[in-house]
Chains A and B, each alone.
Chain A
Amino acid sequence: MSDGATADAGTVLLQATGLTRRFGGLAAVNAVSIELRRGEVHAVIGTNGAGKSTLVNMLSGELAPSDGTIRLAGTDITKWSQPKRARAGIGRSYQRTNIFNEFSVFENARLSAQAAHQRVWALWQGARTCNRSGPVADAAIEAVGLGRHAAGPAGNLSHGGKRQLEIAMCLATRPQVLLLDEPLAGMGAEETERMLGLLDALKADHAVLLVEHDMDAVFRIADRITVMVNGEVIATDVPEQIRVDPAVRVAYLGEDD
Chain B
Amino acid sequence: MAETRAPTRVLPIASGVPPAIAGGGSAGPRATDAAASPSGGPSLGATLVPIVGLALLAVVPFVAGEYLQDLVVKIVILAIFALSLELLAGTTGLVSLGHAAFLGIGAYTAVLAAPKTGAGSVVVLLLLSMASAAVYALFVGALSLRTRGVYFIMVTLAFAQMAYFIFHDTKIGGGSDGIYLNVKPVVDGLLDLKDRNAFYGFALGALAATYGLLAVLLRSRFGHALAGIRVNEQRMRAAGFRTYGYKLAAFVLAGALAGLAGFLIAVRDGFVNPEMLAWQESGTVLLMLILGGLGHLRGAVLGAIVFTLLKELYASEGLVGPLLAGHWQLTLGLTIIAFVATMPKGLIGLPAQLRRKPRAVEIADDE
- Tell me the A residues contacting B by CB distance below 8 Å: 1-2, 4-5, 8, 60, 62, 81-84, 86-87, 91-92, 94, 98-107, 110-112, 114-128, 130, 133-140, 142-143, 147-148, 150-154, 169, 171-174, 197-198, 200-202, 204-206, 223
Contact = CB atoms under 8 A, between A and B. Distances in A.
18 contacts: A1-B1, A60-B238, A82-B238, A91-B238, A100-B232, A102-B231, A104-B34, A112-B239, A115-B241, A121-B222, A128-B224, A138-B19, A139-B13, A151-B30, A172-B13, A201-B11, A202-B7, A205-B14
Interface stretch (B54-62, B242-250, B346-354): B242-250
A171 B19 CA distance: 13
Contact of A120 (B1, B243, B246): B246
A103 B231 contact: yes
Nearest to A41: B1
B7 A201 contact: yes
Contacts of A138: 19, 21, 26, 28, 30
Which 7 residue pairs spanning A and B have beta carbons closest together?
A115-B240, A139-B19, A86-B240, A201-B7, A104-B35, A153-B35, A127-B224
Contact of A151 (B20, B29, B216): B29
Contact of A101 (B12, B20, B25, B231): B231
B219 interface: yes
Interface string B1-27: 110110111111111101111001111
B234 A201 contact: no
A107 B235 contact: no
Nearest to A201: B7
B240 A116 contact: yes
A82 B240 CA distance: 7
B12 A139 contact: yes
Given A128-B30, A151-B30, A151-B32, A169 B235 contact: yes
Interface of B: 1-2, 4-5, 7-16, 18-21, 24-30, 32-38, 216-217, 219-225, 227-228, 231-232, 234-243, 246, 249
A201 B5 contact: yes
Contacts of B29: 106, 150-151
Contacts of A99: 232, 235
A183 B135 CA distance: 45
Contacts of A102: 35-36, 38, 231
Contacts of B13: 136, 139-140, 143, 171-172, 174, 202
A204 B36 contact: no
B234 A83 contact: no
B221 A148 contact: no
A136 B20 CA distance: 9
Contacts of B240: 83-84, 86-87, 115-116, 173
Contacts of B4: 204
Contacts of B235: 94, 98-100, 112, 169
A201 B239 contact: no
Contact of B217 (A82, A115, A123, A197): A123
A143 B10 CA distance: 5
A83 B246 CA distance: 12
A126 B222 contact: no
A195 to B, nearest CB: 11
A139 B9 CA distance: 8
A117 to B, nearest CB: 8
Contacts of B37: 103-104, 107, 128
B225 A151 contact: no
A106 B231 contact: no
